[in-house]
Amino acid sequence: MKKLLVLSTALVATGFAAQAQELNVVSWGGAYTVSQVEAYHKPFTEMTGIKINSIDADNPAAPVKAQAEAGNVSIDLADVELSDAIKMCDEGLLAEIDPSILPPAPDGTPATEDFVPGAIQDCAVANIVWATVIAYDKTKVGDTPPTTVGDFFDTAKYPGKRGLLKSAKRTMELALYADGVAPEEIYDVLGTDEGVKRALAKLDTIKGDIVWWEAGAQPPQLLADGEVVMTNGYNGRFFAAEVAEGKPFGTVWDGSYMDYDLWVIPKDAPHKEDAMKFLAFSTDTQRLADQAKWISYGPARKSSNALVGLYQDGKTEMAPYMPTNPANMMSPIWTDPTFWADHDTELNEKFNAWLAS
């Protein structure tokens, strides 16, 4: 009995010791998490000896909120979208981040100037810029592949089903843009009743041809199965299908929807100090550039761009696939987190009512 007690105490003690050297990091899973594990987690563990538990979630903001609500926070870091980062920061769920902990660029430019505008928030620091784009199957669109969002809505010119994200956010912006609204005016228009009607009316023109998707892995699958000829989706996923799996996909960069993914640290994170260390480490110039070796999401630092070279296969040039490449930024629609924090409920209800009708 005594032996057992000693043994179990020892086990518990080592358990605690191990716990102090761990970080729980929640991200989106799939190829994206792989890129973070390779570019951030492994070198960080090598350098500091701190083990990183990578946890997948459909939307990492949900468990952060759930844990804060339940008063039992075990997440140290989460990778969330801009609107969720701002929302949760406003709600007091996140730790504030002092930008001075972020290392400067190799040439000495301070971090606050090195990051792209909006990438450093009160409680969040961006690691990537990503885009929701339209991809098509090259074998199904004839000799003149689609180049604009207008082509996506033109089922006469390109017959066949379309894949679209089942959510008001992104879908309604896309519809308004296709209807001729300039990217910078989209949120002004969408804020009015007429604007919402206009977006839904545009979607009505192809409603019967839409296959709705919800998870990021679905659009490349729908496209590969021949279920749709065009679909919107996350550019990194299409890249993985096109380059890593050799699928005959092409991308329409017109009207790409730009968003950040940012690191946030819950206010009551158990290992806040280590989490801050990890955050500073993973968003330095080299680490952000390294990530682009694994997935085609743009680094949030300007100084990283010069270091982005080839895909991990050693022959594919990454630049043409990057959403931040000037050649691809033809008419980007930048997400407006404040707008969505305000109108999320209302627009999703209208969108869902339209879907169900």
Interface residues with another protein (CB under 8 A) are 58-59, 61-62, 65, 69, 87-92, 161, 166-167, 191, 196-197, 207, 210-212, 214, 225-227, 338, 341-346, 348-350, 352-356
CB of 199 to another protein, least distance (A): 12
DSSP assignment of 285-327: HHHHHHHTTTS--EESBHHHHTT--B-TTSS-BSGGG-TTSTT
Is the Cβ of residue 87 or residue 287 nearer to another protein in the bound state?
Answer: 87
CB of 70 to another protein, least distance (A): 9
- Count CB-CB contacts under 10 A for residue 151: 20
- Count CB-CB contacts under 10 A for residue 356: 6
CB of 295 to another protein, least distance (A): 23
Is the Cβ of residue 121 or residue 296 nearer to another protein in the bound state?
Answer: 121
Token couple for 248: 């005959």
CA–CA dist 334, 248 (Å, integer): 28
CB 297 within 8 A of CB 235: yes
CB of 225 to another protein, least distance (A): 6
Is the Cβ of residue 152 or residue 340 nearer to another protein in the bound state?
Answer: 340
Is the Cβ of residue 88 or residue 300 nearer to another protein in the bound state?
Answer: 88
CB 136 within 8 A of CB 145: yes
Partners of 131 in the β-ladder: 258
Is the Cβ of residue 100 or residue 345 nearer to another protein in the bound state?
Answer: 345
CB of 58 to another protein, least distance (A): 6
CB of 345 to another protein, least distance (A): 6
CB 81 within 8 A of CB 261: yes
Is the Cβ of residue 39 or residue 88 nearer to another protein in the bound state?
Answer: 88
CB 276 within 8 A of CB 42: no
